Amino acid sequence: MDIGFVLAQSITQALGVTAIIYCLAAIGLNIQFGYTGLLNFGQVAFVTVGAYSIGVVVVTMGLSLWLAIPIALLASVILALILGIPTLRLRADYLAIVTIAASELLRLVVRSIALRDIFGGVNGINGKIGEQFHALNPLPAEFVTPYLTFSRQDAWVVLVGWVIIAIISFGVWLLVRSPWGRVVRGIREDEYAVVSLGKNVFVYKMQALILGGMVGAMGGIIWAIAKQSVQPDTFVPDVTFFTYTILLLGGAARIFGPIVGAILFWFLLAGVGEFLSQAIQAGWIDFLKPTDVGPIRFILVGIGLMSLMIFRPQGIFGDKRELALDGR
Amino acid sequence: MAVDTKSALGPRGQASQAALAHVPNIPGSAKPDPILDVHSVKRSFGGLTAVDVEQVQVQRGAITALIGPNGAGKTTFFNLLTGFDAPDTGEWTFNGQQVAGTAPYKLARRGMVRTFQLTKALSRLTVMDNMLLGAKGQTGEHIYAAFFPFLWSKQERANRERAMELLSRFNLAEKSADFAGSLSGGQRKLLEMARALMSDPELIMLDEPMAGVNPALTQSLLHHIKDIREEGTTVLFVEHDMDMVHDIGDWVIVMAMGQIIAEGPPGAVMKDQNVIDAYLGTHHDKELTESGKSLTVDSDPEGTHS
């Protein structure tokens, strides 16, 4: 049993590409759900749109990655408008239903046989999606991440990814402490009260949905660039629910909530998995097979998260006083 | 106490009562200077006609009380006038402009601000943030400007000062940093009223401002409402306790079964046989006030026999 290796693996995952993707999805969800109270149960749809836009523009259409990124962001704005226009005037639950349905719809469309020429069907889009980005990698060819186990290519994505997260988080921080942020937090508490004070609630909800969707799409963009492949069946509703878990773990309506949540979530998931594998190999645990590790780590992490909700329901950064108050 | 508040009538109060002195005490009577003028507003829910108002006018600068028994349609009428609900038919003007069908937030911007029967204090915002939300025309509420604090910080400071003044007036100043959810029911009513005043409304519409508020706080609420009128804001409020209305109302409009059944100064309206019938129905032996109700209703809680 090599505890040092378990730790190195876990930290690599905690700071890795997947954590970055989920962190961005969670920052987007934090704008929508944490601050504005929009029940978006289809955040994965925005990630899908981000990733597939990059794949389609770069591989299917053969255009530049630098053109693909703004197109991907624009596509997420359009998705937000499509989702928001019919639902944001209605009660909050309608958005939840529409978003979860839309996210599955989107996955089924991109994996469909009819559109295989564009989206690649079940095989998705593979190819040199992120080549232009990886060509800029300044790390030396023989680069080895000290202690951690990033490849040279991943290390470059991770560096840029965390810088992007820092910039976006700073933007969110500016936004939520402004009068704009006050209005959306008011909408979260009671939108009719905010209407009665002369604010066009629909516009604010739309802005929050668009903004959160764009940040989520940014996660999809990084996904496509880092993995150089876009697979339809990775964009399942689980992604949305992991994102919610991350957000609640870190603390909703907190700037550092999604960041710490993503790091901790992937640290625990990788750590528990790696620990179990090693323990089985070392013969410490004889009633489990190595193939059991995958599901068991989710069970253990699930129990951990349930305990968190019971003993610290506000998440790590939340303020307990807020929860003591009745939302209405 | 009632006499106490009555005697403290300010100049604007005297002026508006004088202006209303010659208005006939009939439903739908024309006022000398109406801020709100309503024509044939009707709203039904399925087979039930909740509101069916032929004509009613609200005098500018006065305190008008809209009273009526439970289920008379007062709150529905309020919701219609403020755009929170759409009528089947009807039109009304605010400050001479047609406003039927106008979105509620636009009406609020034009100076017609309401509060709610069930207070809508924004619990997980601080008292100060609640107040600041009320301010109109904030640059920082635009999403692009929000990123640049230097564009709005000066305005924000001015709003903060104004909010602090209002909070001290409503005895909430020391609570400004607390979450609104931690306030008592009465304090929330005060906060909602103060928040509505942040926008400098021309007409403030209070839906049962005194409901669920203890007697001491009720007195202070009544004073505040009179102060609001003395500053030139028109007040229209819903209430069902006649005592409160008698204290501060310049004019009273009585609703029952969705219709305006009587209008007039408080003294005259309370003697109106229609009003007594509507209010008491079969309970002719009961007092009109909250305190009276609690004494007598016990003997016949459901009103099943009389």
pLDDT in tens, A254-293: 999 999 999 999 999 999 998 988 888 888 888 888 888 8
pLDDT at A31: 96
pLDDT band at residue A99 under the 50/70/90 scheme: very high
pLDDT at A134: 93
Q: At a CB cut-off of 8 Å and minimum separation 6, what does A151 contact?
A: none
Buried b (16+ CB within 10 A) or exposed e, A127-166: eebbeebbeebeeeeeeebeebebeebbbbbbebbeebbe
Q: Is the pLDDT of residue A156 over 80?
A: yes
* Alpha carbon distance B39, B57 (integer Å): 9
Question: A204 to chain B nearest CA, in Å?
Answer: 9
pLDDT at B289: 56
Compare CB distances from B133 to A186, A207, A321 and report the shortest one's residue.
Answer: A186
B288: contact with A, CB 8 A cutoff: no
Question: A188 to chain B nearest CA, in Å?
Answer: 9
Q: What is the mean pLDDT of residues A126-140?
A: 92
CA atoms within 13 A on the CB side of A236: 4
Contact A152, A143 (CB under 8 A): yes
Q: Which of A183, A194, A197 to mutate to test the interface with B (most CBs of B within 10 A)?
A: A197
Q: Is the pLDDT of residue B73 over 50?
A: yes
B144: contact with A, CB 8 A cutoff: no
Chain A positions in Cβ-Cβ contact with residue B152 (cut-off 8 Å): 178-179
Chain B positions in Cβ-Cβ contact with residue A178 (cut-off 8 Å): 140-141, 145-147, 149, 152
pLDDT tens digits, residue range B121-171?
Answer: 899 999 999 999 999 999 999 999 999 999 999 999 999 999 999 999 998
* Alpha carbon distance A38, A30 (integer Å): 9
Q: In what order do the strands lie in the sheet with B203-207?
A: B112-114, B203-207, B234-239, B63-67, B251-256, B259-264
Q: Is the pLDDT of residue B241 over 80?
A: no
Are B146 and A207 a contacting pair at CB < 8 A?
A: no
pLDDT band at residue A324 under the 50/70/90 scheme: low
The residue to which tokens 């937000």 are assigned: A80
pLDDT at A234: 94
Residues forming CATH 3.40.50.300 domain(s) in chain B: 2-118+202-282
Chain B positions in Cβ-Cβ contact with residue A326 (cut-off 8 Å): 123, 181
pLDDT at B37: 93
pLDDT band at residue A323 under the 50/70/90 scheme: low
pLDDT at B216: 83
**Mean pLDDT value across chain B:** 85
According to DSSP, the β-strands at B203-207 and B112-114 are parallel
**Mean pLDDT value across chain A:** 91
Compare CB distances from A181 to B109, B115, B146 and report the shortest one's residue.
Answer: B146
Are A196 and B82 a contacting pair at CB < 8 A?
A: yes
3-state secondary structure of B243: helix
The residue to which tokens 């559109």 are assigned: A115
pLDDT band at residue B8 under the 50/70/90 scheme: low
3-state secondary structure of B112: strand
A327: contact with B, CB 8 A cutoff: yes
Three-state helix/strand/coil letters over A65-112:
HHHHHHHHHHHHHHHHHHHHHHHCCCCHHHHHHHHHHHHHHHHHHHCC
pLDDT tens digits, residue range B203-212?
Answer: 999 998 888 7
Question: B151 to chain A nearest CA, in Å?
Answer: 11
pLDDT tens digits, residue range A200-246?
Answer: 999 999 999 999 999 999 999 999 999 999 999 999 999 999 999 99
Q: At a CB cut-off of 8 Å and minimum separation 6, what does B30 contact?
A: B23, B57
Q: Which of A176, A178, A209, A321 to mutate to test the interface with B (most CBs of B within 10 A)?
A: A178
pLDDT at A328: 37
Chain A positions in Cβ-Cβ contact with residue B103 (cut-off 8 Å): 200
Highest mean pLDDT among A310-314, A317-321, B180-184: B180-184
Chain B positions in Cβ-Cβ contact with residue A188 (cut-off 8 Å): 124
pLDDT band at residue B4 under the 50/70/90 scheme: very low
* Alpha carbon distance B305, B296 (integer Å): 14
* Other CB atoms within 10 Å distance of the CB of residue B241: 19
* Other CB atoms within 10 Å distance of the CB of residue B243: 19
B125: contact with A, CB 8 A cutoff: yes
Compare CB distances from B147 to A171, A186, A200 and report the shortest one's residue.
Answer: A171
**Following CA atoms A111, A29, A297, A12 in sequence, which dihedral angle do they give, to the nearest 10 degrees?**
90
pLDDT band at residue A126 under the 50/70/90 scheme: very high
Are B140 and A179 a contacting pair at CB < 8 A?
A: yes
pLDDT band at residue B23 under the 50/70/90 scheme: confident
Compare CB distances from A198 to B105, B129, B132 and report the shortest one's residue.
Answer: B105
pLDDT at A325: 57
A77: contact with B, CB 8 A cutoff: no
Between A112-116, A317-321, B6-10, B24-28, the lowest mean confidence (pLDDT) is in B6-10
pLDDT at B246: 83
pLDDT tens digits, residue range A199-209?
Answer: 999 999 999 99
According to DSSP, the β-strands at B89-94 and B97-98 are antiparallel
* Alpha carbon distance A152, A144 (integer Å): 7
Contact B127, A174 (CB under 8 A): no
Comparing A1 with A8, the larger pLDDT belongs to A8
Chain B positions in Cβ-Cβ contact with residue A199 (cut-off 8 Å): 105, 133, 141
The residue of chain B with its CA nearest to that of A189 is B122
B18: contact with A, CB 8 A cutoff: no
According to DSSP, the β-strands at B97-98 and B112-114 are unpaired
Chain B positions in Cβ-Cβ contact with residue A175 (cut-off 8 Å): 143, 146-147
Pinpoint the alpha helices (H) of chain A.
3-15, 17-29, 43-55, 65-87, 92-110, 116-119, 131-134, 152-176, 179-189, 191-196, 201-227, 237-250, 257-281, 293-311, 320-324
pLDDT at A60: 93
How is residue B141 written in tokens?
A: 């509420």
Protein fold of B2-118+202-282: Rossmann fold (3.40.50)
Q: Is the pLDDT of residue B303 over 50?
A: no
Residues A323-327: contacts with CB within 8 Å, 24+ apart? A325/B123, A325/B124, A325/B179, A325/B181, A325/B182, A326/B123, A326/B181, A327/A189, A327/B123, A327/B124
pLDDT band at residue A313 under the 50/70/90 scheme: confident
Buried b (16+ CB within 10 A) or exposed e, A81-117: eebbeebbeeeeeebbebbbebbeebbeebbeeeeee
pLDDT tens digits, residue range A15-40?
Answer: 999 999 999 999 999 999 999 999 99
* Other CB atoms within 10 Å distance of the CB of residue B96: 9
Interface confidence, given as ipTM, is 0.87
Q: How far is CA B249 from CA A108, B111, B181, B253, B258, in A?
A: 64, 21, 31, 10, 21
Q: Pick from A61, A51, A16, A30: which is nearest to A208 by CA?
A: A30
The residue to which tokens 């069970």 are assigned: A299
B126: contact with A, CB 8 A cutoff: no
Contact A294, A238 (CB under 8 A): no
A181: contact with B, CB 8 A cutoff: yes
A305: contact with B, CB 8 A cutoff: no
Chain A positions in Cβ-Cβ contact with residue B121 (cut-off 8 Å): 193
pLDDT band at residue B283 under the 50/70/90 scheme: low
pLDDT at A309: 80
How is residue A52 written in tokens?
A: 């597939």
Domains in chain A, please, with CATH? Answer: 3-125+148-324 (1.10.3470)
Are B179 and A321 a contacting pair at CB < 8 A?
A: yes
pLDDT at B288: 54
pLDDT at A321: 67
How is residue A241 written in tokens?
A: 């629910």
pLDDT at B2: 42
Are B116 and A193 a contacting pair at CB < 8 A?
A: yes
Q: What is the mean pLDDT of residues A166-186?
A: 96
Q: Is the pLDDT of residue B281 over 80?
A: no
Question: B109 to chain A nearest CA, in Å?
Answer: 5
pLDDT at B298: 41
